[in-house]
Chain A
Amino acid sequence: MGDSLITVVAIFLAAILMFVFPLMSLAERTDDVSQLAVQTATTELVDRVRTTGKLTLTDYDAFVSELASTGNTFDIEILIQELDENPGVKTTQAEATKIGENLYYNKYTTQVLDELDTKGRKILKEGDIITVTVKNTNQTISQMLRNFFYMISGNDSYQIVGQHSGVVSVNGSTSER
Chain B
Amino acid sequence: MKLQHLAIIFVLIIVPISLVMSSYIQNQIEAINMQTKYDMNLISSTYDAVKAFQINTTNNKYSSISDSKIRDIEASVSTFYNSLISSMSEFASREEAEDYVPAMLFTLYDGYYIYSSFDNVYSTTGEGGNEKVDINLDSKNYQKGLQPYVYYSAKYKLRNGNVITVNYTLDNAITVYGDFGDGEGYVTRTGYLINPDNVEIHDTYITYNGVRIEPEILTEHLITIEDNETKRTKEDDYRYIFYQNEKIYQDYDENGNLAYNEDGTPRIFWYHDYMKTYINDPYIRNYAKTCNMRSMSAIEYYARAKEFSDWVKEKLGGITQADTLKVEDGTTPIGNDTEYLAENTGNSPIFEVGKNNDPLVSDSIFNNHRLAIIRKSIETSLNTVISKFRAVTLYDYAMPVIDNEDWYKILNNISMVTFMQGIPMGYRYYNNYAVITNNVNKEVVKAENIYIVTEDTATGKNREYHQPGCKELISGVNDGTLRIVGAYPTASFQRQSVKRNDNQEDDLHFYLQAVEGDTLTGCYNCIVNSTADYDTDDIIEGIDLIDFENKVENGGSGSISFKSNNSAYMQVRAAYLKALARERYDIYKSNFDLEANR
Contacts and interface: CB of A to CB of B under 8 A. Distances in A.
Interface of A: 7, 10-11, 13-14, 17-18, 21-22, 25, 28-29, 32-33, 35-36, 39-40, 43, 47-48, 50-53, 82-86, 89-94, 96-97, 105, 118-121, 123-126, 128, 164, 166, 169-177
Q: Give the interface size bracket for B toward A.
A: 35 or more
B10 interface: yes
B284 interface: no
A83 to B, nearest CB: 8
A169 to B, nearest CB: 4
A11 B3 contact: yes
Interface in B1-51: 2-4, 6-7, 10-11, 14, 18, 21-22, 25-26, 28-29, 32-33, 36, 39-40, 43, 47, 50
B7 A14 contact: yes
Nearest to B47: A169
A96 B509 contact: yes
A123 to B, nearest CB: 4
Interface stretch (B127-135, B145-153, B266-274, B532-540): B532-540
B530 A123 contact: yes
Contacts of A128: 530
B531 A123 contact: yes
A90 B29 contact: no
B530 A124 contact: yes
B44 to A, nearest CB: 8
Interface string B366-410: 000000000000000000000000000000000000000100010
A118 B554 contact: yes
A84 B528 contact: yes
Nearest to A11: B3
B521 interface: yes
B536 A120 contact: no
23 contacts: A17-B10, A32-B22, A32-B26, A32-B29, A39-B32, A43-B36, A51-B436, A82-B529, A97-B507, A119-B549, A119-B554, A120-B551, A120-B554, A123-B532, A125-B527, A126-B439, A166-B40, A166-B43, A169-B43, A171-B530, A174-B448, A175-B362, A175-B537
Contacts, number: 145
A36 B25 contact: yes
A94 B7 contact: no
A169 B436 contact: yes
Nearest to A25: B18
A105 B527 CA distance: 13
A105 B528 CA distance: 10
A94 B509 contact: yes
A177 B447 CA distance: 12
Contacts of B535: 174-177
Contacts of B522: 85-86
Given A29-B21, A51-B436, A171-B439, A86 B43 contact: no
A96 to B, nearest CB: 5
Nearest to A119: B548
A141 to B, nearest CB: 16
Nearest to B40: A166
A96 B6 CA distance: 76
Contacts of B3: 7, 10-11, 14
Given A17-B7, A169-B436, A120 B25 contact: no
Interface in B507-562: 507, 509-511, 514, 518-522, 527-532, 535-537, 548-549, 551, 553-554
Interface in B399-426: 405, 409, 412
Interface of B: 2-4, 6-7, 10-11, 14, 18, 21-22, 25-26, 28-29, 32-33, 36, 39-40, 43, 47, 50, 361-363, 405, 409, 412, 434-437, 439, 447-448, 467, 469, 495, 507, 509-511, 514, 518-522, 527-532, 535-537, 548-549, 551, 553-554
Contacts of A118: 548-549, 554
Contacts of A22: 14, 18
Given A173-B412, A177-B363, 14 more contacts: A17-B10, A22-B14, A25-B22, A32-B22, A39-B36, A47-B39, A93-B511, A93-B514, A123-B531, A171-B448, A171-B530, A175-B362, A175-B536, A177-B537
Contacts of A43: 36, 39
A135 B409 CA distance: 32
A136 to B, nearest CB: 16
B99 to A, nearest CB: 24
A8 to B, nearest CB: 11
Contact of A94 (B18, B510, B548): B510
Contacts of B2: 10
Contacts of A28: 22
Contacts of B511: 92-93
Contacts of A36: 25, 28-29, 32
B7 to A, nearest CB: 4
Contacts of B22: 25, 28-29, 32
B514 A13 contact: no
Contacts of B514: 91-93
A128 B405 CA distance: 21
Contacts of B437: 170
A177 B362 contact: yes
B437 to A, nearest CB: 5
A51 B39 CA distance: 12
In this complex, the member of A90, A94, A172 whose beta carbon has the largest number of chain B beta carbons within 10 angstroms is A94
A86 B518 CA distance: 15
In this complex, the member of A13, A25, A172, A175 whose beta carbon has the largest number of chain B beta carbons within 10 angstroms is A175
Given A10-B3, A97-B509, A52 B521 contact: no
